[in-house]
Structure 1
Amino acid sequence: MIGYYIHHQGLGHRTRATGIARQLEVPVVGFSSLAAPEDWPGQWCTLPMDVPRRPVDPTANGVLHWAPLDHAGYRERMRLMAEYLGSELSVMVTDTSAEVTLLARLFGVRTVVMAMRGKRTDRTHRDAYDAASMIVAPWTAESAEDYWPREWTDKTVFAGAISRFDHLAVTPVAATDDVARSDSRRKVLVVWGGGGTDVTDSDIDRARLATPDWDWTVRSPANPSPDLWADLQAADVVVSHAGNNAVAELSAAARPAVVIAQPRPFDEQHATALALEKAGVCTALDHWPVPDQWHSLLENARERGGSGWARWRYDRGARRAAQAIERLDDVALTCEPR
């Protein structure tokens, strides 16, 4: 059985994990403090939260990221996973936790780390990535992190972007695609996530006022889209944060885009924005622009088109990731009698 640990910050980890789990052809059990998604294909173990009001030495003197002393919730979540690790699991996928990765490895279970961009050179990340049996990167080899040591790259499967829309075929938007619409108002779709933001409603309102020839639609957890794929296809330009899932969905839709990094641990979104810019995929920024910049940003993004997303994704990233995990599971089952 495959174990799959899913971090509870935001909803992106769960969305990605669900897409991969649904492609697995072996049993899977999810571990998370989040509720099970309706379309999760296997068992689900709900973990208690592990955030005390006054955490005591949560980093173990800098060795770990989060392991608070004397907290019943943290102990219980680790105990629940340990029960499975000690008896049922052949592979543990972590998206993402260094502590769970190391816990699984200490149980002698093969581990798969879902890679994240950003500065992952701290002691804890290095230990987790070093200990992993496999790393799955949700980006292409062509857009890989250039600071990684060779030993990480050698055991990495580059799955490309992993989106819930991978199965939907699109034609990338070229720079000339909207010529026929030049007399109509152009459409901006703002896609914002639930993992925290420094962008306010006022910021978006000022951008809207500065671009009177564009119609703006905002989608967020507070105002979800009834059909995000249709919204993406209808937009002339999409404005999005640089979260992994949001960027993956842009790549599946191949839309012209302005991607704006938000503050995250280890500068994850800033690293994603930099990689997008270096690959020439879309317009990518480190911060929300001032109102006067928006007209040229939207026009430039529209003129660039969406063909650059081909450098960010392969076909069916979730299936590529699932096949890699299954190969590791096959190794686990054939190398050692259960």
Structure 2
Amino acid sequence: MIGYYIHHQGRGHLNRALAIAAELRETVVGLSSQRRPEGWRGDWLDLPRDDESIEPRDVDAQGRLHWVPLHDSGLRGRMAVLSQWIAETNPQLIVVDVSVEVALLARLLGVPVISVALPGIRADDAHQLGYDVSAAIIAAWPQEAEGMISGLSAPARRRLHCVGAISRFGSRGDEGRPALGAEGQRRVLLLGGAGGSTLDASTISAARTSTPDWHWTVLGSRGGRWVDDPWPEICSADVVVTHAGQNALADVAAARRPAIVIPEARPHEEQVTTASVLAGSSRWPAIVRWDFPETGWQALLDEAAALDGDRWSTWNDGRGARTAAAVIESELTPAVDSEVA
């Protein structure tokens, strides 16, 4: 049995877990404060939230960890539930996406850990500790994307497996892409995420007004709608304007759509780092802008539309989840309790 811890912020961690779990041959139990998603095949352990205290104190233990607020009943309950589950089920391994504290707890209880790495600057003590106790580290970006993460120790870097982008849609190319509309309008999709956006409706409206030859669809951002399945909209776009979150880029790459990438502010420079890698290479069909442009959208969309979307194939080759599952299965060992043996 494999435990799979899924962080509750946004939807990216959950979508990645769904894709990887579907490729694993072992029974996988989800461990999360998120509700069990449709399509999850194994059991699901509901965890108490640990971020609902009105005045959390000393949340990082003087910089050694990331989130351990003092005397927090949610944190205490969360770790107690996890500890009890580990004691009762004796899992072979736990995948952690992402939490240094959960990785440390599992390893302190004698369970091997595989951590999922995120892009950005990860040189702080907490990240170092989490990676150091992990048997392997999975990175959902291609080996060719140099500079996606910094601060790893030499031993941790040797355990880093760059498996390529992981999209819940795999790699399905032009599947479902309709022909141009009757009026010949090209389509642009503005793709927001569940993790928050700095865009406002008036800025988006101005961009839309300045490009009358383009039909705009807005998902997730302010002024847009939320859909559980953005795949049809991604496939029907001639250009996708997106933030630099891992899952959004993985989905755009799966659909082989040219992109305009505008990173959002995230801890540890996560999206800025990814955008910098894309900006520094002509390998992938993406144009990077550091802020949402106030003018020049017609020329920008024309430039992006001229890019060859098939060049995303080295970012997302459709095998990322399968490769990640292979890394996980390579670390499996029989879970033998020494007292029973």
State TM-score, norm by structure 1. Answer: 0.91
More helix by proportion, 1 or 2? 1
Alignment partner, residue 269 of structure 1: 271
String of CA shifts for 1:136-188, please: whole Å, max 9, x gaps.
Answer: 110111114363443223112221010011153448x9xxxx9x999822110
For 2:308, give the aligned amino acid.
G
Alignment partner, residue 153 of structure 1: 157
Paired residues of 1:279 and 1:311 also in contact (CA < 8 A): no
Q: CA deviation at 1:259?
A: 1.2
Distance 1:315 1:19 in 2: 11
Paired residues of 2:173 and 2:256 also in contact (CA < 8 A): no
RMSD: 2.4
More displaced stretch, 219-228 vs 47-56:
219-228
Q: CA deviation at 1:310?
A: 2.1
Distance 2:65 2:271 in 1: 22
Runs of 5+ in structure 2 lacking a partner? none
More displaced stretch, 1-10 vs 84-93:
84-93
Q: CA deviation at 1:322?
A: 1.2
Distance 2:13 2:183 in 1: 41
Distance 1:61 1:10 in 2: 27
Distance 1:89 1:144 in 2: 34
More displaced stretch, 28-37 vs 312-321:
312-321
State the percentage of identical aligned residues: 40
Where does structure 1 differ by over 4 angstroms across 4 or more consecutive aligned residues?
180-183, 332-338
Alignment partner, residue 132 of structure 1: 134
For 2:68, give the aligned amino acid.
A
Paired residues of 2:116 and 2:139 also in contact (CA < 8 A): yes
CA 1:76–1:305 in structure 2 vs 1: closer, same or farther (change >3 Å)? same
Alignment partner, residue 4 of structure 1: 4
CA 1:242–1:332 in structure 2 vs 1: closer, same or farther (change >3 Å)? farther
Distance 2:326 2:71 in 1: 39
Q: CA deviation at 1:226?
A: 7.2
String of CA shifts for 1:295-315, please: whole Å, max 9, x gaps.
Answer: 222111111221331231233
Q: CA deviation at 1:316?
A: 2.0
Paired residues of 1:92 and 1:109 also in contact (CA < 8 A): yes
Alignment partner, residue 95 of structure 1: 97
State TM-score, norm by structure 2. Answer: 0.90
Q: CA deviation at 1:219?
A: 1.5
Tell me if 1:162 matches 2:170: no
Q: CA deviation at 1:321?
A: 0.9
For 2:170, give the aligned amino acid.
D
For 1:196, give the aligned amino acid.
G
String of CA shifts for 1:186-207, please: whole Å, max 9, x gaps.
Answer: 1101111110111111111111
Tell me if 1:309 matches 2:303: no
More displaced stretch, 143-152 vs 52-61:
143-152
Alignment partner, residue 229 of structure 1: 231
Q: Secondary structure, in 3 states, of the residue corresponding to 2:317?
A: coil
How many residue pairs get aligned? The number is: 330
Alignment partner, residue 261 of structure 2: 259
Distance 2:291 2:336 in 1: 50
Q: CA deviation at 1:62?
A: 1.2
Alignment partner, residue 321 of structure 2: 318
Q: Secondary structure, in 3 states, of the residue corresponding to 2:296?
A: helix
